[in-house]
A and B are shown apart, each in its own frame.
Chain A
């Protein structure tokens, strides 16, 4: 059943947040980030910081320094964007146990438009030494990411979406930080996708069968530390890669994959992502306009195969 990963976030905080050390902070967006679910379950461990994200990130750092597992939640734009420097200097540098739950990431925010469509968070967070960056593809992955974040000692950035997405993983799915997942085998080309583009990658692989192209599909939920082994293996075995993300082509999954491929097993790579500010519209219309579709993935696959 299609579900927005921000809802998964709220549900997982309740499900895995029974530990007394878990505290959840929000900046007046609890109804949108779904931390209101945690607030209802554990009101004494929910801290509304008001519309003050910079302060919230540093309060979370203070809580973490005294032994709390502090989840700081707001929209991706105001977490990775507005509070970047707080995250870098006061959470990342001391390596504190803060988990950033960033919702409403990407262009799929839709009607709110460019100011709220964060398309650079993966790039920004990826540059912070020691930061784990996770971009879940579906409900189960998002929930397990929250569980893994609680168990991981150190800063974690988690990216969640507003738009409902289809399940790509089964109920027996095992999640491990830093471990990519091969969702479909194939030897002609590899599509490496993250977040809601994973479902598009699977659709593209289906249509490519009609053209006689056997595409491998890999879900990279952890942008950092990235699973080098699965990428290098794919580069060596399929000889061409297309990456797909709901993010700028600069600095995100595509950049991370090319860094690995260039150093480990050079092969042609096509990067699908956005290259300009977003705008208002329905998510499906925006995906079409910005090329974040199964159709565009299939087209890029055909182009990259010619470069082999």
Chain B
């Protein structure tokens, strides 16, 4: 990827982070930490990789994304809004009684959401079903799923880990948001799912380890996944929970709590500064 495009995407990703925090702040509920760690990936997918049409969200042969870690909906909504699926102002209505932006993704009512998720471990299976459907119909759309690292503790993930290689779903790419933290703390202390790469390899996946905040590395991983035939790909992306907000980074306390006014303002200032810095570099 050329440097200019990577910078443009980084700017969008930081706007997505702002939307995510705006939603969580206004709702005074939601999951900021894991939203910030996947914002770069979501931006890359929706602005560079996936064949989608904001004017026709249910286009038949579109690429699909399942946010298996559905609690990070604020980042998905921020991305979809930036991409034009719905008005950016609406992100501030997250979790409100009259809003269509439910606490977890709701495919029935939110343009651009391909699957309702929220109960961990289930989305990745759905993605397998979508990928299988494309194979049955000999269609070339691709399916992406994003999982949390803590989510790997759900047994159902490993049911799908067997299924996708068995049916040679090389049109399926999953991303593990490996930020190392879950609600109760360090994932290796709560219930250690590592080594994640070796587990997926043993289950028959094409495994790529990369930096979740490098558009170059993510982009390469996606290209390698597309080139890999006969196997699904698992991208284990090393990420920073709370990425780009200093006091949220690497802090499990920000898994599922909302910032107060002062914290929110500081977070927005930090993200605006990042955006200004990136814009200056363009």
User: Which residues in A have some Cβ–Cβ distance to B below 8 Å?
Assistant: 23, 44-45, 47, 49-50, 52, 54-55, 57-68, 70, 85-86, 89-90, 93-95
Q: Give complex CA distance A60, B163 in Å.
A: 13
List 13 additional contacts besides A60-B129, A61-B126; criterion CB under 8 Å.
Answer: A47-B167, A52-B156, A54-B159, A58-B122, A58-B125, A58-B129, A58-B160, A59-B128, A62-B130, A63-B132, A65-B115, A90-B119, A90-B125
Q: Which of B116-134 contact A (CB under 8 A)?
A: 116-119, 121-123, 125-134
Interchain CB contact under 8 A, A65 and B107: yes
B273 contacts the other chain (Cβ, under 8 Å)? no
**Interchain residue pairs A-B with the least CB separation, the first 8:** A62-B129, A58-B125, A55-B159, A59-B129, A52-B159, A62-B126, A66-B133, A62-B130
User: Which residue, of B106, B114, B122, has the highest number of chain A Cβ atoms within 10 A?
Assistant: B122
Partner of B129 from A50, A54, A65, A95 at Cβ < 8 Å:
A65
0/1 string, B152-176, CB within 8 A of A gives 1: 0001100110110011000000000
Q: Which A residues are in CB contact (< 8 Å) with B131?
A: 62
A95 surroundings in chain B (CB, below 8 A): 108
Neighbouring B residues of A23 by C-beta, 8 Å:
136
A to B contact number (C-beta, < 8 Å): 106
Most buried by A among B117, B126, B132, B162: B126
List of B residues within 8 angstroms of A67 by Cβ: 60, 133
User: DSSP majority for the A interface?
Assistant: helix
Within 8 A of A (CB), among B2-21: none
Output the least CB separation between A210 and chain B (Å): 55
Q: How far is the CA of A47 from the CA of B167 in the complex (A)?
A: 9
In the complex, chain A residues whose CB is within 8 Å of the CB of B133 = 62-63, 66-68
Q: Chain B residues near A45 (CB, 8 Å)?
A: 136
Q: In the complex, which of the residues B126, B136, B137 contacts A58, with contact meaning CB atoms closer than 8 Å? A: B126
Asked whether A89 and B118 contact (CB < 8 A) given A50-B162, A59-B132, A65-B130, the answer is yes
Complex partner residue of B130 from A57, A63, A90, A94, CB under 8 angstroms: A63
User: How many angstroms between the C-alpha atoms of A62 and B130 in the bound complex?
Assistant: 5
| Nearest CB of A to B112, in Å | 14
Chain B residue at smallest Cβ distance from A61: B126
Complex-state Cα separation, A68 to B134, whole angstroms: 11
Do the beta carbons of A55 and B160 come within 8 Å of each other? yes
Most buried by A among B66, B106, B163, B166: B163
Consensus secondary structure, chain B interface: helix
A44: chain B residues at CB < 8 Å are 136
Tell me whether B119 and A89 are in contact (CB under 8 A).
yes
- Cβ A86 vs Cβ B129 within 8 A: no
Bound: A50/B162 CA distance, A: 9
Interchain CB contact under 8 A, A59 and B125? yes
Q: What string of 1s and 0s marks CB contacts (under 8 Å) between B39-58 and chain A? A: 00000000000000000000
In angstroms, how far is the closest chain B Cβ from the Cβ of A74? Answer: 13
**Which residues of chain A are near B121, meaning CB under 8 Å?**
54
A275 to B156, CA, bound (A): 32
A142 to chain B, nearest CB (A): 26
Contact yes or no, A85 B119, CB < 8 A: yes
B159 touches A94 (CB 8 A): no
Show 19 A/B contacts (Cβ-Cβ < 8 Å), sorted by A.
A44-B136, A45-B136, A55-B125, A55-B156, A57-B125, A59-B160, A60-B129, A62-B126, A62-B128, A62-B132, A66-B64, A66-B134, A85-B119, A90-B115, A90-B119, A90-B122, A90-B126, A94-B108, A94-B116
Q: Which residues of A contact B117 (CB under 8 A)?
A: 90
Complex partner residue of A52 from B60, B127, B163, CB under 8 angstroms: B163
Q: How far is the CA of A65 from the CA of B66 in the complex (A)?
A: 11
Q: Which residues of chain A are near B107, meaning CB under 8 Å?
A: 65, 94
**In the complex, which residue of chain A has the Cβ closest to the Cβ of B156?**
A54
Whose C-beta in chain A lies nearest to the C-beta of B130? A62
Contacts of B66 in A (CB 8 A): 62
B156 touches A59 (CB 8 A): no
- Contact A62 B119, beta carbon cutoff 8 Å: no
Residues of chain B contacted by A54 (CB below 8 angstroms): 121-122, 125, 155-156, 159
Nearest Cβ on chain A to B50's Cβ, whole angstroms: 15
Q: How far is the CA of A60 from the CA of B125 in the complex (A)?
A: 9
Whose C-beta in chain B lies nearest to the C-beta of A68? B133
- Partner pick for A65 among B119, B126, B137, B162, CB 8 A cutoff: B126
CB < 8 Å: which of B106, B116, B118, B163 contacts A59?
B163
Please, which residues of chain B bring their CB within 8 A of the CB of A64? 129
A120 vs B136: C-alpha distance in the bound complex, in angstroms?
35
Q: Which residues of A lie under 8 Å from residue B129 when comparing CB positions?
A: 58-66, 70
